[in-house]
A and B are shown apart, each in its own frame.
Chain A
Amino acid sequence: MKEMLPFKWARGAVASALIGAVALVGGVPTAVQADETCMSPYMAKIVGQEDYVYVWTLGVEGMGDEQDKLVTISVNPDADDYGEVVHILSVGGRNEAHHSGLSDDRRFLWAGGLDSNKIFIFDVHTNPGKPGLHKVITNFVDKTGGMVGPHTFYALPGRIMVSALSNNVDHGGRTGMAEYTSEGEFISAHWFPTDDDLRGAQKTGNFADGYGYDVRVLPRRNAMFTSSFTGWSNYMMDFGQMLSDPEAMKRFGNTMVVWDLHTREPKKVFDVPGAPLEIRCAWSGLNNYCFTTTALTSKIWLIYEDENGEWQAEDVADIGDPSKVPLPVDISITADDQGLWVQTFMDGKTRYFDISDPHNPKQTYEYKVGSQVNMISQSWDGKRAYFTTSLLGSWDKTGKDDEQWFKLYHWNGKKLDHQFTIDFYQLKLGRAHQMRFGAYSLYSQKPNSSDTMMSQIEK
C-alpha cells in the first residue's frame, strides 16, 4: 500500500495548474478518459494495465482556479510518477462537470457540462499523459431543439450518442438524446417518448415520462436502452432543499426505454420507479440483459430478453435498507458478468453483488470507502477498482463529510486493498467525478514518449 505524501501532491498540483494555465492561454490543446467494463462494445479495450485515469472534475467556487478541469493521474505502478497527478487542464467555467465518454477509436474524450451545456472534446491520443483540448461544442441546446444537460457520451461506430437530462423551456425532466459524428458534427435529435408522442413505442405500464439519463447498447440484439433521472431544476438544486420541496420530489424519472438500435426508434417503455440511473449490459454473447439501479427506491432492476424474445423489466434486489435511502449511484459490471459493484452515496459504501443468477443478485461484500462515494471504474481484469466522490455540485455532503478524493484499491475477489489516495481538496482541484482510462498501448506508443508534467518539473 502506498499512501502519498501531501507535499508531493501539492507540488504536482501547483505545477500542473501552472502548466495547464500556460497551455490554455497559449491555445495549446490538451485531453482525457474510464471504466473498461462499462464502455461501449464498439471501442477498443484496455485489457492490460492502464497508464492513466482521467478524472473529470468540478471546479469549486473559492477554491484554486474555481473552474472545471480534466485531471490526469498516473496509475501504472511501473511509472516513476505512479500515483501522482501528472496533468491538469482547466476548461473555463463551472459547467457542472459530470460524465465523459470516449470515441470509438479512443482518440478523443467527450466530457459534458450539465449546467452550461458545453461539450469539451479532449485529444487523449497524441500524448496520453498530457491531454489537450481539441474542440468545444457550445450550441448543444440550439442544435438539438432544446435539450439541456448533455450527460452520457456513448460511442457508436463513427458516432457519439449524447443523452440529455433536461430542456430549455421549463428546466424539467422531459428531454432526449442527440447523435453526433465522432468529429463533433450534430446529426439528429431523438426525444424520449411521452404519452402524447410515444413515437411508436409501447407503454407497458403506467409511465411514459420522457425523462433521460444513461444510454447503453446490446448490438447483438439490436437493442439500445435509456434510463431516467431528473431535470436541471433538481440536479442543480441544493440537495437538502430539494428533499424538503414536495413539488420538486415529484420530478424524477420512473422509466426505462428499449430502442431499436439501428433505426433509433423507441420500442418499449418500462416502469422502473425511483430514478433508474446507470445502465450496465452483460458482455457474454449468451447474456441478453442489462442492469440498472434506482437512486431513490434503492433497487437493482434487470432488463432482460425472455424466452419469447421480448424485453422485460424486473425488480431483482434491494440495495441496503431502502427505507434509509442509501442512494445507489454508479455501478460497474465485471467483465465475466458475475459481479456488480454498487456505490451508495449516503453511507459511502461500495457493495459487491454476485449476479451469477441475474434474477437473484446477492450482496456478498461491502466496504466503506469514505464519507461519500459516487463513481467506480474497474479494470477489465477486475483487479483494480478506482473510486471518486462527487455526485453533483449541489448534492455533495457538507462540512467534514465533503471529502473529495480519488482512490485506488486492489480486488482479490474477496476484499478491497487500498493502494493510494489523492485528496482533491488538498490539491485545490475541486470535486472528483467521472473516471476514464488511458493507455499508451492503445496508440502503439511507449511511456517514454510522454512529456509528462512531472518530467517537465524534473527538468
Chain B
Amino acid sequence: MTLYFSNPRYWFLILIVCCIFVSTTTILIASSSDEGINKEAIFGPGDRKHGYDQENYVTNSLSVTSRKGKQADLLQFVYQTPLGLPKMVMPDGKPITEEQVSLGRRLFFDRRLSLNDTFSCAICHIPEQGYANNELATAIGFEGRSVKRNSPTIYNVGYYNIFFHDGREDSLEQQVWAPLLARNEMANPSIGYVINKIKGIQEYKGLFEAAYDGKGPTMETVGAALASYQRTLNSANSRFDQWYYGKQEDALTDDEKAGFELFIGKAKCSACHLINDEYALFTDQLLHNTGHGYNVSMGIKPEKTRVQLAPGVFVDVDNEIIDSVRQTPKQNDVGLYTITQNPFDRWKFRTPILRNVALTAPYMHDGAFTSLRQVVEFYNQGGVPNELLSPLITPLNLTEEEMGQLVDFMFALTGDNIEILVADGFAAPIGDIRSQDPNWAHDTEFEVK
C-alpha cells in the first residue's frame, strides 16, 4: 500500500490506466460513466497514510459513506476471459450461474457468519485494498486473535491449484470452510452451527434452493457458493497483457519493458512466476524456501523495535517492554513442513500470482515487507542463506536502476477491470446483525423494572 501511494510512478500509471479505460473496452467505458461511484475510493484504503512517516503528513481521508459502488455482471470475467488469463476450468465441469455467484457474494460480505456476528470474509479481503488487507502485516481474527499470516488477495484465486500460503488445500470449495471454523478467524464452533445460522437468517430464504436445484444450505452448497463468487474475481488485460499478448507496442514504457526483460532474464523471477506464450499466471503452483521464513524463525531478534507514535514521531522501544504486553508469543511459521512433516519442506511457502501485486501490499507470507522495492532488494541479495534454500534463489547483482525497472514492471500488472470489481464489492450487502436474526438477546424477554 505504502509503495504505490509513495511512488509518483503510480499516479502516472493510474493516469495511463484511466486513459486506457476510456479508450479500450466498452465494458470499461460503461463503468467509467457510472454515476455515484467515487473512483478515488477504488485504489487503496480510504484512510490514506501516504507520507505518515513525515512530520508534515497531511491527511487525504475519504469518508466511509463515500464508498458507493455498482453491482457488476461478474460472470463476464469467467466466460469472457480477460486477456492474459487462460480459460477457467470448473472443478466439476459445470458452469457456475448468476444465482450461485450472487449468493456467494452475499455470504462473502456477511459478518454474521462468525460466532459473534462481527466477521465476514471481506473484513480480511477488503475490495479497495486489493481484496487483501493493506493495513495489517498479519491478519487479526475473532476477538482479536492473531493469525500468523498475511491476508492474500483473492483476485484470480480460481486459478490456483493449491490454497493458503502453505498449500494445505487443493480445492476452493473446501478451502472456504477453514476460515469459517478456525478459532482465530471466524471461530464458528461447527459446520452445523454455520448451516443452522444461515437457515435462520431471513435474507437467505430460498436463495440456496434457487441456486442449487432445490438444495438448501449444506456444507457442500455453502462451499460451492463462496467458491463460485471468488472464481469471478478475475483480473487481467493489464498493460503488460496488452503489450505482450495484445501486441500494443506503446502499452508499456521503456523502463517497464526493461523490467520485463529483467523479470524473465537476469532477475530470474519467471523461474517461479511463470509466463507462457498464451497466458501468464505468474505462479508455478509450487512452494519454495526463499530464506525469508527461515530468517524469521531462526534469525537473531534485535534488542529494540522502532515504533511510530504519530506522524514523523518515532521511538526505539526495548523489545522487553513490547514482550511485556504481548499476550501470546509470536507464532513460529515453518510453512509447508507443518502440513507434510517432511523436514525438507521447512520454510517453503506458495509462489503467489503476481497479477495486481501493486495493490496488495504488504508482501511475503507474513507481510514483513511494506513495498515491492523491499521485496526486490530481498531477492537481489539472494534471499537468506540456509541449508534448504531453493537453488533458484541466488544473488542477482541488480543495479539500483534495474531494481527500479523491475518494480515498474510489476506496477504494469494491474488488471483493467479493478474499478468494476471493487465497485461491485462496494455494492455488496454487508450482513450485520438485525433484531430478527438469531441471537440469545433476541429470544430473552427482559423484565422492565
Interface SS of chain A: helix, strand, loop or mixed? loop
Are B140 and A237 within 8 A (Cβ)? Answer: yes
Point out the residue from B47, B62, B138, B326 that lies within 8 Å of A251, measured CB to CB. B47
**In the complex, what residue of chain B is closest to A233 when comparing beta carbons?**
B140
Query: Digit string of A203-244 for contact with B (CB within 8 Å is 1, else 0)?
Result: 000111110000000000000000000000101111111011
Are A240 and B325 within 8 A (Cβ)? Answer: yes
Knowing A249-B308, A254-B310 touch, does A139 contact B63 (C-beta < 8 A)?
no
Contacts of B449 in A (CB 8 A): 29, 31, 123, 125-127, 132, 134
Query: Digit string of B46-84 for contact with A (CB within 8 Å is 1, else 0)?
Result: 110100100011111111111100000000000000000
Within 8 A of B (CB), among A419-451: none
Contacts of B332 in A (CB 8 A): none
CA distance A136 to B441 in the complex (A): 6
Question: Chain B, interface size: which category?
Answer: 35 or more
Point out the residue from B58, B309, B432, B444 that lies within 8 Å of A168, measured CB to CB. B432
Point out the residue from B133, B144, B317, B325 that lies within 8 Å of A397, measured CB to CB. B325
Are A247 and B447 within 8 A (Cβ)? Answer: no
Are B63 and A243 within 8 A (Cβ)? Answer: no
**Is B118 in the interface zone, CB < 8 Å from A?**
yes
Contacts of A273 in B (CB 8 A): 310-311, 313
Are B56 and A274 within 8 A (Cβ)? Answer: no
**Is A3 in the interface zone, CB < 8 Å from B?**
no
**Is A301 in the interface zone, CB < 8 Å from B?**
no
**Is B307 in the interface zone, CB < 8 Å from A?**
yes
Distance between B333 CB and nearest chain A CB, rounded to angstroms? 14
Query: Digit string of B327-345 for contact with A (CB within 8 Å is 1, else 0)?
Result: 1101000000000000000
Are A142 and B433 within 8 A (Cβ)? Answer: yes
Are A134 and B325 within 8 A (Cβ)? Answer: no
Interface SS of chain B: helix, strand, loop or mixed? loop
**Is A323 in the interface zone, CB < 8 Å from B?**
yes
Contacts of A116 in B (CB 8 A): 116-118
**Is A396 in the interface zone, CB < 8 Å from B?**
yes
Are A239 and B126 within 8 A (Cβ)? Answer: no
**Is B123 in the interface zone, CB < 8 Å from A?**
yes
Within 8 A of A (CB), among B413-449: 430, 432-435, 437, 439-442, 444-449
Query: Digit string of A87-102 for contact with B (CB within 8 Å is 1, else 0)?
Result: 0000011111000000
Contacts of B61 in A (CB 8 A): 174, 194-196, 208-210
Are A167 and B64 within 8 A (Cβ)? Answer: yes
**Is B305 in the interface zone, CB < 8 Å from A?**
yes
Contacts of B122 in A (CB 8 A): 169
Contacts of A393 in B (CB 8 A): 143-144
Point out the residue from B45, B432, B434 that lies within 8 Å of A170, measured CB to CB. B45
Contacts of B289 in A (CB 8 A): none
CA distance A191 to B60 in the complex (A): 16
**Is B134 in the interface zone, CB < 8 Å from A?**
yes
Are A296 and B118 within 8 A (Cβ)? Answer: no
**Is A117 in the interface zone, CB < 8 Å from B?**
yes
Are B58 and A29 within 8 A (Cβ)? Answer: no
Knowing A170-B126, A325-B309 touch, does A238 contact B327 (C-beta < 8 A)?
yes
CA distance A184 to B323 in the complex (A): 42
**Is B408 in the interface zone, CB < 8 Å from A?**
no
Are B325 and A239 within 8 A (Cβ)? Answer: yes
Distance between B119 CB and nearest chain A CB, rounded to angstroms? 9
Point out the residue from A134, A175, A274 that lies within 8 Å of B310, measured CB to CB. A274
Point out the residue from A236, A249, A254 that lies within 8 Å of B143, measured CB to CB. A236
CA distance A249 to B307 in the complex (A): 7
Contacts of A135 in B (CB 8 A): 446
Knowing A238-B144, A239-B326, A239-B327 touch, does A138 contact B307 (C-beta < 8 A)?
no
Are A174 and B64 within 8 A (Cβ)? Answer: yes
**Is A250 in the interface zone, CB < 8 Å from B?**
yes
Contacts of A395 in B (CB 8 A): 325
Point out the residue from A92, A96, A117, A236 that lies within 8 Å of B440, measured CB to CB. A92
CA distance A116 to B62 in the complex (A): 25
**Is A45 in the interface zone, CB < 8 Å from B?**
no
Are B63 and A172 within 8 A (Cβ)? Answer: no
CA distance A175 to B133 in the complex (A): 18
Are A210 and B134 within 8 A (Cβ)? Answer: no
Contacts of A401 in B (CB 8 A): 324
CA distance A241 to B434 in the complex (A): 33
Are B323 and A174 within 8 A (Cβ)? Answer: no
CA distance A396 to B307 in the complex (A): 18
Contacts of A373 in B (CB 8 A): none
Are B62 and A196 within 8 A (Cβ)? Answer: yes
CA distance A139 to B144 in the complex (A): 21
**In the complex, what residue of chain A is closest to B307 when comparing beta carbons?**
A243
Knowing A195-B59, A196-B63, A248-B135 touch, does A142 contact B326 (C-beta < 8 A)?
no
**Is B252 in the interface zone, CB < 8 Å from A?**
no
Distance between B318 CB and nearest chain A CB, rounded to angstroms? 10
**Is A285 in the interface zone, CB < 8 Å from B?**
no
**Is B290 in the interface zone, CB < 8 Å from A?**
no
**Is B283 in the interface zone, CB < 8 Å from A?**
no
CA distance A93 to B61 in the complex (A): 34
**In the complex, what residue of chain B is closest to A251 when comparing beta carbons?**
B135
Query: Digit string of B115-148 for contact with A (CB within 8 Å is 1, else 0)?
Result: 0111000110010110001111110100110100
Contacts of A93 in B (CB 8 A): 116
Distance between B188 CB and nearest chain A CB, rounded to angstroms? 14
Contacts of A171 in B (CB 8 A): 123, 140
**Is B322 in the interface zone, CB < 8 Å from A?**
yes
**Is A105 in the interface zone, CB < 8 Å from B?**
no
Are B63 and A197 within 8 A (Cβ)? Answer: yes
Are B309 and A138 within 8 A (Cβ)? Answer: no
Contacts of A156 in B (CB 8 A): none
Distance between B338 CB and nearest chain A CB, rounded to angstroms? 20
**Is A70 in the interface zone, CB < 8 Å from B?**
no
Distance between B321 CB and nearest chain A CB, rounded to angstroms? 7
**Is B315 in the interface zone, CB < 8 Å from A?**
yes
**Is B221 in the interface zone, CB < 8 Å from A?**
no
**In the complex, what residue of chain A is closest to B312 when comparing beta carbons?**
A273
Within 8 A of B (CB), among A123-147: 123, 125-127, 132-136, 138-139, 141-142, 145-146
Given contacts A169-B64, A247-B136, A273-B313, 11 further A-B pairs with CB under 8 A are: A167-B64, A168-B111, A168-B430, A170-B46, A174-B46, A174-B64, A191-B63, A210-B47, A240-B322, A243-B305, A398-B327
Q: Which 5 A-B pairs have the closest CB atoms?
A: A240-B326, A236-B144, A126-B449, A273-B310, A136-B441
7 A-B pairs with C-beta separation under 8 A = A169-B430, A172-B46, A196-B62, A207-B311, A243-B325, A244-B307, A325-B307
Query: A-contacting residues of B (Cβ < 8 Å)?
Result: 1-2, 38, 40, 45-47, 49, 52, 56-67, 111, 116-118, 122-123, 126, 128-129, 133-138, 140, 143-144, 146, 305-311, 313, 315, 317, 321-328, 330, 362, 367, 370, 430, 432-435, 437, 439-442, 444-449
Query: B-contacting residues of A (Cβ < 8 Å)?
Result: 27-29, 31, 92-96, 115-118, 123, 125-127, 132-136, 138-139, 141-142, 145-146, 148, 167-175, 191, 194-197, 206-210, 233, 235-241, 243-252, 254, 273-275, 294, 296-297, 323, 325, 346, 393-399, 401
